[in-house]
Amino acid sequence: MKLILPFFMVMLFNSALAQNDSVRATVKPVLVIHGGAGTILKKNMTPEKERAYQDGLLAALDKGYAILKRGGSALDAVEAAVRSMEDNPLFNAGKGAVFTHEGKNEMDAAIMNGRTLAAGSVAGVTTIRNPITAARAVMEKSQHVMMTGKGAEAFARLQGLEIVDPSYFYTEERWKGLERVKKEDSAKTELDHGSKPTSGLKQPENKDSKYGTVGAVALDIQGNLAAATSTGGMTNKRYNRVGDAPIIGAGTYASNATCAISCTGWGEFFIRLVMAKTVSDMMEFGNRSLEESALEMIQKRLPALGGDGGLIAVDKAGNFTMPFNTEGMYRGSVDREGKVTVKIYKD
Please give the positions annotated as active site.
213
Please say which residue, 40 or 68, places its beta carbon nearer to ligand ASP.
40
Which of these ranges, 60-68, 169-177, 240-248, 294-302, lies near ligand ASP under the rule CB under 6 A?
240-248
Residue 100-139 contact track with ligand ASP, rule CB under 6 A, x = bound: ----------------------------------------
Cβ neighbors of 245 (< 8 A, separation 6 or more) are: 108, 109, 110, 213, 215, 229, 230, 231, 233, 251, 252, 263, 267
Q: Report residue 87: phi and psi, to 5°.
A: -80, -10
Q: What is the size of the binding site for ligand ASP (CB under 6 A)?
A: 15
- Return the half-sphere exposure (C-beta side, CA atoms, 13 A cut-off) of residue 281: 9
The letter for the amino acid at 271 is I
- Binding ligand ASP (rule: CB under 6 A), the pick from 36, 249, 328, 332 is 36
Please say which residue, 61 or 271, places its beta carbon nearer to ligand ASP.
271
Cβ 324 to ligand ASP shortest distance, Å: 11
Which of these ranges, 111-119, 155-163, 177-185, 237-245, lies near ligand ASP under the rule CB under 6 A?
237-245
Please say which residue, 155 or 270, places its beta carbon nearer to ligand ASP.
270
Helix, strand, coil shares of the chain as percentages rounded to 5? 40, 20, 40
Does position 33 interact with ligand ASP (CB under 6 A)? The reply is no
Contact present, 145 and 138 (Cβ < 8 Å): yes
Buried b (16+ CB within 10 A) or exposed e, 107-143: bbbbbbbbbeebbbbbbbbbbbbbbbbbbbbbbeeee
Please say which residue, 65 or 266, places its beta carbon nearer to ligand ASP.
266
Does position 243 interact with ligand ASP (CB under 6 A)? The reply is yes
Contact present, 314 and 320 (Cβ < 8 Å): yes
Q: State how far the Cα of 259 lies from the Cα of 276, in Å rounded to an integer.
A: 9
Q: State how far the Cα of 342 lies from the Cα of 268, in Å rounded to an integer.
A: 28
- Binding ligand ASP (rule: CB under 6 A), the pick from 88, 92, 105, 126 is 92
Q: Is the dihedral of CA 62, 138, 196, 233 positive or negative?
A: negative
Contact present, 92 and 231 (Cβ < 8 Å): yes
Please say which residue, 206 or 319, places its beta carbon nearer to ligand ASP.
206
Does position 209 interact with ligand ASP (CB under 6 A)? The reply is no
Residue 210-229 contact track with ligand ASP, rule CB under 6 A, x = bound: -xxx----------------
- Binding ligand ASP (rule: CB under 6 A), the pick from 244, 308, 315, 327 is 244
- Binding ligand ASP (rule: CB under 6 A), the pick from 100, 121, 127, 231 is 231
Query: Coil, helix or strand for 258?
Result: coil
Task: Count CB atoms within 10 A of the CB of residue 167.
Answer: 7
Contact present, 216 and 64 (Cβ < 8 Å): yes
- Binding ligand ASP (rule: CB under 6 A), the pick from 120, 265, 328, 332 is 265
Does position 323 interact with ligand ASP (CB under 6 A)? The reply is no
Please say which residue, 211 or 320, places its beta carbon nearer to ligand ASP.
211
Q: State how far the Cα of 252 lies from the Cα of 262, in Å rounded to an integer.
A: 5
**Closest-CA residue to 33 (of 346, 279, 251, 334):** 334
The letter for the amino acid at 170 is Y
Cβ 98 to ligand ASP shortest distance, Å: 8
Does position 234 interact with ligand ASP (CB under 6 A)? The reply is yes
- Binding ligand ASP (rule: CB under 6 A), the pick from 81, 245, 274, 313 is 245
Cβ 189 to ligand ASP shortest distance, Å: 19
Cβ 70 to ligand ASP shortest distance, Å: 31
| Residues contributing to the site for ligand ASP (CB under 6 A) | 36, 92, 211-213, 231, 233-234, 243-245, 251, 264-265, 267
